[in-house]
Structure formats: structure tokens, C-alpha cells
Amino acid sequence: MIEFLFEYESLRVIWWILLGVLLIGFAATDGFDMGVGALLPFVAKTDAERRVAINTIGPVWEGNQVWFILGGGAIFAAWPALYAVSFSGFYLAMFLVLLALIMRPVGFKYRSKRPDPAWRTRWDWALFVGGAVPALIFGVAVGNTLQGVPFHFTPDLRPVYEGSLFGLLNPLALYCGLVSLAMLVTHGAAWLTFKAEGSVAERARAVGTRSAIITAVLFAGGGVLVWLGLLGGYRVTSPIVWDGPSNPLVKTVVADSGAWLANFHAHPLLWIVPALGVAAPLLAAAGFQARLEGWTFLASKLGVAMIIATVGLAMFPILLPSSSNPGHSLAVFDASSSRTTLRNMLVATVIFMPLILTYTAWVYRVLWGKVGEKSIEKAGSSAY
């Protein structure tokens, strides 16, 4: 069994799965932080209410953001070609994301330094930008990935990106951005109903009900776009050598409008994943109305996981398709690091990931309980 896991083809698939786990972990944890930030101007009307909303995520947002670092690190180490193309091609979009994410810790730290209402309002809007902009841009990036990114490799495997920031902001990509934004707003609302008390929780419940329904409708609409062939697709036509060298130039890929549905047609049980991607937000909407706070948050988290998993399963084995030269697309079997690198990383992951998860669970256990205006007044200056 151990020998099978350490075979090159097995390691490539395992790291494709782990990359998906890390992305889902980031969206399921830091996603509700971003959702709370995006909701801040709409669910909290007074300074006390805004402090309640902020303090539901204040103690955990830094730990949640570690998943973002882990995901980027995994791409860099396990899929270096993917890292080189995506982080250079999406450079300006990534810069906007990082700029927005930088505004979040600054907002947390500086908001309560002065009692001036205008001062605090400015930082509240900084927290809004730090939540809403990344949630939108991450979806835009996924939308561009599904359509294909204009890049190619030179004969010495140097990536050349041919697009621009405004090219990334196309209608279909923005549609995916709206799916992402609605999904994370729902997740943030579910967290607020779970952790906050009073008017903040009530407003979050009302907003979350609507955003959950919008998430389900938009995601189902995206499925219709794929079904109609409007979102494109790419398919590997040459024989796949799973234990071959990492060289994206030795395969043949064609653009095919029905390619993103091929895996679901070949393995009908996979349809459960997108079905849950539609059903889970609707369950969350019902949970909001039934005031089942814990179940609502779990349903929202399930929806996040299934929506992201749907994209991964649709594209497999392609990681990043090239719209300008499909044959240069990056795939699971030709864009990975060496067998030794993947093996050593897997050993480190098996050792340290349980420790990270255990510590995270302990932190949430220590911070268990709701946040209300009375608890904020009691905490005084120690709260955000």
C-alpha cells in the first residue's frame, strides 16, 4: 500500500486532491471572514453592532488565512508550472487581492485606536473592501480558468502570458465572481447567526436567506451555461502517461464545448457533487428561516465545498487550460514537481496537517460562545 502511494502517478493524483482540500479549507474558513467583512455595512448600523460583527471573526481570522498561505505554498511546491503561469498571468488581479487582504489586518488593528466616528467608519469600509474584493476576484479567476487563459510556452518551457487585467474581467468570469461573492456572503451570514447576538444576527439571517437562494440560482445557471457550451471546455486527446515527465508540450488538447461535462457523463455518481452544490445553499436558506444556526453553518460550508469540488472534477485532469494554444495547457500528469518532491511533501503533510487541524479545533473550542454588545462592553479595550 505504501509503495502504491509513493508511485509517481499516485502522488500526482494525491496532490491534486490535496490542492482541492486546501482550497476548500481556505474558502470554508477564511471565506466566512471575508463574508462578514462584505456584510459589515449592511448588518451593523451602530458602532457597538459593528464591534460585535468584527469580534466574531477578530480572534480567528489570522489562523483562517493560513489556509491561503498553505494553498499558495502547495501550488508553488507541487505544481511549479501552474504557479509560474497563474501567478504571473493573474499578477494584477492577485495584486488587487493582496491589497484588499492587507487592508483587513490594518483595519482590525487601527479601527479602535480612536473613538472618532469618521475614523472608525473609514476602517469599516476598509474591512468591507478586504472582504468583498477577494471574494469577487477569486471567482473571476475561476471563471477565466474555466474559459482558458491566453498563455503558451517557448521551446525552453518559459511561460508567456498574452492577456491583460481587463481581459480577465469578461462577462462569464464576472458571472463566476458573483457566484463566489454570493457564496461567501452566505457563509459569512451563517457565521454571524451562529456567533453574534441581537440585531446583527437578525439582519444577517435576512441577508443570508436571500444570498443563499441567489447562490443556488447562480450556480445552477452556471451549470446551464456549461451544458449549453457557452463556458467552453478542453479535452486531452492524446494518450495520457501518468508517470511521464513534466513537460506540457508533449500532449494534444482540443477545445470542446462539452468537455467540462465529460467526467460526469463517464462517472454518473459524480453528479451528486454539483447537485449538493445547488441543494446545500437552499438548505442553508431553510436553516436561516428555521433558526437552526449550527445546521445552517454546516450547510453553507457543504455548499462551499461542493461548488469548488464541482469545478475541480469538471476540469480533471486539466489544471489550467490555454485558450491561445490548447496543446500547452497544464495537466495533472505533466505539470507537477518530481516524484521525490511530491513524496517528501506528502510525508510532511501527513505529520503536520493533523497537528494544524488539532490546534485549530482547540482554538475554536476555547473561543466557543456568542458575541453580543454586553460581552463587548465587558471586554472593553481588549476587544476590537
pLDDT value at 2 more than 70: no
How many domains does one find in the chain?
1
Please give the pLDDT value at position 228: 65
pLDDT value at 176 more than 60: yes
Please give the pLDDT value at position 19: 93
Average pLDDT in the 205-226 region? Answer: 92
Average pLDDT in the 4-17 region? Answer: 88
pLDDT value at 151 more than 70: yes
pLDDT value at 382 more than 60: no
For 6, other C-beta atoms within 10 Å of its C-beta total: 16
Task: Answer for the pair 305, 24: CB distance below 8 angstroms, yes or no.
Answer: yes
pLDDT value at 5 more than 80: no
Please give the pLDDT value at position 301: 96
Please give the pLDDT value at position 365: 84
Task: Answer for the pair 278, 285: CB distance below 8 angstroms, yes or no.
Answer: no
Go through 177-206 and write b for each residue having 16 or more CB atoms within 10 A of its CB, e for each that does not: bbbbbbbbbbbbbbbbbbbbbebbbebbbe
Please give the pLDDT value at position 378: 64
Classify residue 370 as left (phi > 0), alpha (psi -120 to 50) or beta: beta
Distance, CA of 74 to CA of 67 (rounded, Å)? 10
Task: Answer for the pair 333, 81: CB distance below 8 angstroms, yes or no.
Answer: no
Q: Kindly compute the dihedral angle of the four CA atoms of residues 113, 62, 83, 173, in this order, to the nearest 10 degrees.
A: -70
Average pLDDT in the 354-363 region? Answer: 86
Please give the pLDDT value at position 118: 87
Look-up of cell digits 476598509: 126
Position with higher pLDDT, 179 vs 258: 179
18-32, 138-152, 257-271, 363-377: least confident range: 363-377
Position with higher pLDDT, 133 vs 365: 133
Identify the band that residue 330 occupies on the pLDDT scale cut at 50, 70 and 90: very high
Domain encompassing residue 189:
2-382
Please give the pLDDT value at position 346: 92
Q: Take residue 293 and report the three cell numbers written for it.
A: 444556526
Q: What is the mean pLDDT of the chain?
A: 88
Please give the pLDDT value at position 86: 86
Distance, CA of 359 to CA of 248 (rounded, Å)? 39
5-14, 73-82, 86-95, 257-266: least confident range: 86-95
Identify the band that residue 70 occupies on the pLDDT scale cut at 50, 70 and 90: confident
Distance, CA of 297 to CA of 246 (rounded, Å)? 41
